[in-house]
Structure formats: C-alpha cells, structure tokens
Amino acid sequence: MKKETQCVHSGTLQDAATGGINSPIYCSTAAEYLDRTEVPYQRYFNTPNQAAVVRKVAALEGAEDGVLFGSGMAAISTTLLALLRAGDHAVLQAELYGGTHAFVAELFQQVGIGFAFVDLTPEAIEAALTPATRVIFLETPTNPLLHLVDLRRVADLARARGVLTLVDNTFATPLNQNPITLGVDVVLHSGTKYLGGHSDIQCGIAVTNGTLAKQIRHTACHLGGSLNAATCHLLERSLKTLHLRVERQTANAGRLAAWLADQPVVARVYYPGLPSHPGHDLARRQMVGFGAMLSFELKPGDVTSLNLQRRLQLIRPAVSLGGVETTICAPAQTSHIKLTRAEREALGITEDLLRLSVGIEHVDDLLADLEQALASTSAR
C-alpha cells in the first residue's frame, strides 16, 4: 500500500460487536485471566489500541514492529537503556534534542555507560567509535539549524562494525524520511509533534525489527512509560491525516523559506529545501520532502527577534512543534536556554535565531503576517 492508504487503514482493529469502521477503544486495566495465555495490560505494552498504532507507524516506516510510549523521551530513554549496559559505549551527535542530550549526560554516568558527543559527519562518528561502542544515535535534520547527516553512510559503517544505528526521525516525519530503508536499525519519534499533530497529546514510539522490538519492550515493562487507551485512540485518529498535514506543512515551509530568503532584513535562512543549504543535495537523496521546520536570522536593525515575535498576529510565539498551527520561537530562549551563550555559539545558535514550525494554514495568510511584522518600524 502507498503511504496515504497506510495512514488511513494500516493497523485498524476490527469491531465485530458493531461492525463500526473505527478501532474500538479497549480501556480495561483489569482483564479475566482464566484460559488466556496473555492478559492485556497497558504497562505490558500489549493492548489492542497500542498494537493498532504500532502497526500503522511501523507500516509507514518500513519496520516490523515497535513499542508505543507515553512521551518521546520515554521512547528514547527506554530504547537506549534496553540496548546498552554498564561498560558499553554510545556515540551521539552533539547537536541533539536537549532532552536527549541531558538524559545521556546525566544518566549514562550514573549507570556506567560510556559516551561521546561528536560532530555530525560520518568521519567524526567513525573516529569516535571504540571497541565497546554498541549504539550510534542521530537526528537529521537537526534542531534548530536543520543540518543533515548522511544516514546511509553512517548506517553502513556502523553495520560493518556490528554497531546499531538509532535515528530520532521526529523532524522529518515518516512521510518525508524513512531511515530504516537506508539501513538504520531503530527509528524513534516524539509523537507529541507531527504524529499527534494538534499540539494536544504527548506520546512517543520506537519502531524496528522484531528482535530489537522484543528487547525494547522487555525493558519498557520495567520502566513503565506506556500510553493509555484514550490517547492511543487520539493518536490513531491523528495519524489518518498525517499525510495530508505533512504534505501541506512541507509545501508551506518551502514557500516561506524562499520568501524569507528574498527579504532584505533577513540575513540567513536555514532550510534543506533551499539550493543554498549545505545539505541540499543530501536532502534530495535521503528525504522525500524537505520537512516543515525552518530557521532564520535577521540582520541587525529595528526589527529584532523579540519585537518580530510580538508583532506577529497569526503566528504564535510558542514552544514545541509539529502542530497544524504555525508557531515561532527563539531557540536561545527556549529549547537551548540551559546551554551557556558560548555553548550555543559553538553550535551556531545565535541569540537572534528564530525557528518556525510551519502549519497547515493558507500560505498567503502566513506570508502576510510575516510581511507586516517584518516591515520596519520607521516605515510604519
């Protein structure tokens, strides 16, 4: 099946009682056990509503199986703890989602797992591998500068050494990039973002092959970060329109990126779909679409990062991303606020950088809002 069809149909549960065409919601946390080999229980990650979502996302990512969690961080932390033990080593890119970076930096030390944060070139990743390395963890495109990593090259060099490659695919979505088809072993998502898509549910998922899924599920039962039936239902409902949303969001982002790049007050635009982006050729090879996240910097002048955010009327200054509504934030004051200014500058994140999460609105309304907000104060 094509992805559009998988979004709608993959994983849907039969409703024998009523013939209804939607998956029924199974909310019991107590179930009869006599004459049953397995009792469904949310924290065992074995309920029908969890399975329905896993099958849909696994189909979209080209995976065999997966484990559904109560947040993106539950998916990431549980997966890493399932695949690593004391004495093992992990190589992670330095430009990583802040929560993942903090989890590794704080918790790996406590449990005796070695780690190295490295630059995102395949050469830097290869150079950081040690005989104890079991896992490489990547994100592409990165937050907030949309840098790209060559997934096939990293997956190939990892496989040659018996190392697993994990990719947080939250920014790209399963519509715009499928790391498993490029040789990656495990794909993770913060479902709170595009999969949920309406800025109203928290969830996460890991999809992979059958053997690794079993291993992750085993650790997940200990850690307990499962997703309840009501939220599984909302997520399944959201995923039916994932394709429509992401297609529109990606198209809108392409238009906004090109328009911003033409504005005299804009110094730089970071978007993989722009031919000027250093990862543009790689993006064309490994992505289906260029995604709906973009960042930009303003030239010094009377429109600043802060007053631009205050002047916008439709686009809301807000944290998080991936919803149907367009939002804007300054990473230096939000996602990267815990770093020092020097650490941010080393990553290329200036105090004035602005990140847009582009929604499904009509692009003309988004352009009009940006245009009125960017108009110089003196010209008003």
Cβ closest to ligand PLP, residue 190 vs residue 350: 190
Least CB distance from residue 49 to ligand PLP, whole Å?
18
Least CB distance from residue 69 to ligand PLP, whole Å?
8
Yes or no: say if 91 and 125 are a contact pair by the CB < 8 Å rule: yes
Would you give the distance in Å from CA 175 to the centre of its chain? 12
194 in catalytic set: no
Cβ closest to ligand PLP, residue 56 vs residue 101: 101
Selecting among 3, 56, 153, 193, the annotated active-site residue is: 193
The Cα–Cα gap between 127 and 117 comes to 12
Q: What is the DSSP letter of 104?
A: I
168 in catalytic set: yes
Cβ closest to ligand PLP, residue 97 vs residue 115: 97
Cβ closest to ligand PLP, residue 10 vs residue 78: 78
80 CB contacts (<8 Å, ≥6 apart)? 90, 103, 104, 135, 137, 166
172 CB contacts (<8 Å, ≥6 apart)? 140, 141, 287, 291
Least CB distance from residue 267 to ligand PLP, whole Å?
25
43 in catalytic set: yes
Least CB distance from residue 355 to ligand PLP, whole Å?
11
Cβ closest to ligand PLP, residue 40 vs residue 70: 70
Selecting among 150, 168, 185, 369, the annotated active-site residue is: 168
Phi and psi torsions of 192, nearest 5°:
-60, -25
Cβ closest to ligand PLP, residue 47 vs residue 190: 190
The residue type found at 350 is T
Gyration radius of the chain's alpha carbons: 21
What angle (nearest 5°) sits at the alpha carbon of residue 33, between those of residues 32 and 37?
135
Selecting among 97, 194, 270, 271, the annotated active-site residue is: 97
Cβ closest to ligand PLP, residue 139 vs residue 369: 139
Report which residue's Cβ sits closest to ligand PLP.
72
Across the chain, the runs of DSSP E, i.e. the strands, are: 65-69, 89-93, 114-118, 133-139, 164-168, 186-190, 204-208, 266-270, 293-298, 316-317, 327-329, 354-357
Yes or no: say if 54 and 23 are a contact pair by the CB < 8 Å rule: no
Lay out the sheet containing 114-118: strands in order across.
65-69, 204-208, 186-190, 164-168, 133-139, 89-93, 114-118
Interface residues toward ligand PLP, by CB under 6 A: 71-73, 97, 99, 139, 143, 168, 170-171, 190, 192-193, 202, 204
Selecting among 26, 43, 255, 311, the annotated active-site residue is: 43
Least CB distance from residue 169 to ligand PLP, whole Å?
8
Least CB distance from residue 74 to ligand PLP, whole Å?
7
Least CB distance from residue 35 to ligand PLP, whole Å?
38
Indicate the length of the chain as a whole number: 380
270 in catalytic set: no
Residues designated catalytic = 43, 97, 168, 193
